Structure 1
Amino acid sequence: MTKKIAILFVCMANYCRSPTAEGVFRSRAIAAGLDPFLLIASAATSNYRIGHAPDPRSSEHAARRGIDLRAQRARRITLEDFERFDHILGMDHQNIAMLTAACPPQYRHKIGLLMQFASRSDSDVVPDPYGGDVDGFELVLDYIEDAADGLVASLRERLAARAKGA
């Protein structure tokens, strides 16, 4: 069997944005039939919420869109993650800076912003909704759904090319 493409979503605490991205992307990948070819996870750049379930507001808003985040638990990124994952997608520039500082140089090419895959949103970052009102959680879902659709399309092309070459 061909090695799975491994995708890691990262935010500060793995409490709002990255678990939402993991859940949304997983649902999109399943719908596209790509799930068997992917490893999907999320992590934090800090140790604020290790072991905690996602923010209840994130879970509630995601559930309204058919995304279940309840089984996820926050964890901090490890050195092994930089080797293991093919794409390490941060939610904002601060997380990219933290990832870059922690990452061994030979793996830095794997780090990027999730929103690079978005086509309907003009933001290059997924804003942190934690301290804001409920509209922020809806905006996060809108942005992540947009980027997840673009990431699915990109991976579909990559997997099709891989299949032709096999």
Structure 2
Amino acid sequence: MAEPVRLLIVCLGNICRSPVAEGVMRARIATSTLAGRIELDSAGTGDWHIGEPPDRRAIANAAEHGVDIAGLRARQLALSDYHDFDWLLCADRANLRDVRARAPGGARAGSALLLDWSGLAHEGEVPDPYTGGPAQFEHVFQLLDRAADGVIARLRREYPFLTR
């Protein structure tokens, strides 16, 4: 069996956008033909929330959609991630700049905006809902839900060995 494709979703603190993206993608992939062939994780560029669970509002919003992210814990992007993952998919341009600026020589992981990579370039960036309310968390969930469909489609298209 071929090596799994490894995706790391990156945002600022790893408590709102990236854990929701990880949770949604895990749920979608688990019920697809890609189950067991994709490895997912999430990280933040900042270190403020290391070891903490996702924001309670993100947990509640994801749960409303049947996605459980309560067991996830925040971590900071590590140099090893550039070698351990195939793609570092970033929530916004600031995260993408930080990810690229920190890349060590010989890094194998590609880096891109999550929405661009998933085929939703017209949506731009995933906004940070941290200072917002329920409507902002719902908007982010809906964006990431659509992005998960695009990620699965791209994986099937670009990694055909995953579907054999």
Q: TM-score, normalised by structure 1?
A: 0.92
The offset of 1:90, in angstroms, is 0.4
* Residue 39 of structure 1: aligned partner: 39
How far apart are the structure 2 equivalents of 1:121 and 1:99?
A: 19
How far apart are the structure 1 equivalents of 2:103 and 2:34?
A: 28
* Residue 57 of structure 1: aligned partner: 57
Mapped pair 1:115 → 2:115: yes
Label 1:47 to 1:15 Cα distance change in 2 as closer, same or farther (>3 A).
same
* Residue 27 of structure 1: aligned partner: 27
Structure with greater helix share of residues: 1
Structure 2: runs of 5+ lacking an equivalent: none
* Residue 93 of structure 2: aligned partner: 93
- Superposition RMSD on alpha carbons, in Å? 1.8
How far apart are the structure 2 equivalents of 1:77 and 1:35?
A: 25
* Residue 140 of structure 2: aligned partner: 140
Contact 2:37 2:162 in 1 (8 A): no
The offset of 1:83, in angstroms, is 0.5
Aligned residues: 164
What secondary structure sits across from 2:123 in the alignment? Answer: coil
Label 1:127 to 1:150 Cα distance change in 2 as closer, same or farther (>3 A).
same
Structure 1: runs of 5+ lacking an equivalent: none
The offset of 1:26, in angstroms, is 0.5
The offset of 1:160, in angstroms, is 2.5
What secondary structure sits across from 2:160 in the alignment? Answer: helix
Contact 1:121 1:146 in 2 (8 A): no
Identity of aligned residues (%): 36
Contact 1:119 1:146 in 2 (8 A): no
The offset of 1:118, in angstroms, is 4.5
Summarize deviations over 1:139-164 as a string: whole Å, max 9, x none.
10111111110000111223434667
How far apart are the structure 1 equivalents of 2:151 and 2:28?
A: 10
Label 1:123 to 1:71 Cα distance change in 2 as closer, same or farther (>3 A).
same
Contact 2:86 2:108 in 1 (8 A): no
